[in-house]
């Protein structure tokens, strides 16, 4: 499954497919499902021999070392350039739940969807003069 991300399921989803338990290994196949095609909180995942269905990103742990390294490098770059942030927007749901953090650095847009990474950056941003705008949607 070239160009797909190796993931592990963090929750039991046997109600959707027999054998789909926490620890099941799968591969993302894109935003092609009923939910993933309209909502980026979901991704279609193929769990070989079990099922292929839309899964919430929050129910998955990324195992792909290349992707994890890329994410870490992106965070390191942002942290090293935190004082160059031109714009910072925190997007939350209507009840305040995290959606993503959007930053502009040197006219390049960075969208951080991983909650833990986003809040590490957010907490460092609070110590700067950057105005962080919160959006509820």
Question: Which residue positions in the chain have pLDDT lower than 70?
Answer: 1-2, 36
CATH number for the domain running over 6-62: 2.30.30
Q: What is the pLDDT of residue 78?
A: 95
**Residue 136 C-alpha from the chain's centroid:** 18
Per-residue model confidence as pLDDT tens digits over 2-41: 579 999 999 999 999 999 999 999 999 988 777 767 777 8
Tokens (6 digits) for 119: 């809040």
Per-domain residue ranges of the chain: 6-62, 72-136
pTM for this model (two decimals): 0.75
User: Sign of torsion, CA 81 118 97 99?
Assistant: positive
Give dist(CA 12, CA 74) in Å, integer. Answer: 31
């Amino acid at each position: 499954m070239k160009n797909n991300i190796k993931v592990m399921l963090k929750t039991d989803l046997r109600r959707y497919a027999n054998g789909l338990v926490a620890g099941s290994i799968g591969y993302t196949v894109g935003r092609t499902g009923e939910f993933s095609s309209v909502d980026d909180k979901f991704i279609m995942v193929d769990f070989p021999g079990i099922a292929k269905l839309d899964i919430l990103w929050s129910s998955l742990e990324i195992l792909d070392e290349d992707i994890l390294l890329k994410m870490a490098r992106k965070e390191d770059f942002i942290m090293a350039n935190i004082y160059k942030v031109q714009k910072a927007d925190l997007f939350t749901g209507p009840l305040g739940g995290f959606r993503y953090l959007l930053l502009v650095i040197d006219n390049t847009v960075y969208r951080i969807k991983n909650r833990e990474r986003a809040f590490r950056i957010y907490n460092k941003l609070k110590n700067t003069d950057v105005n962080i705008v919160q959006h509820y949607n």
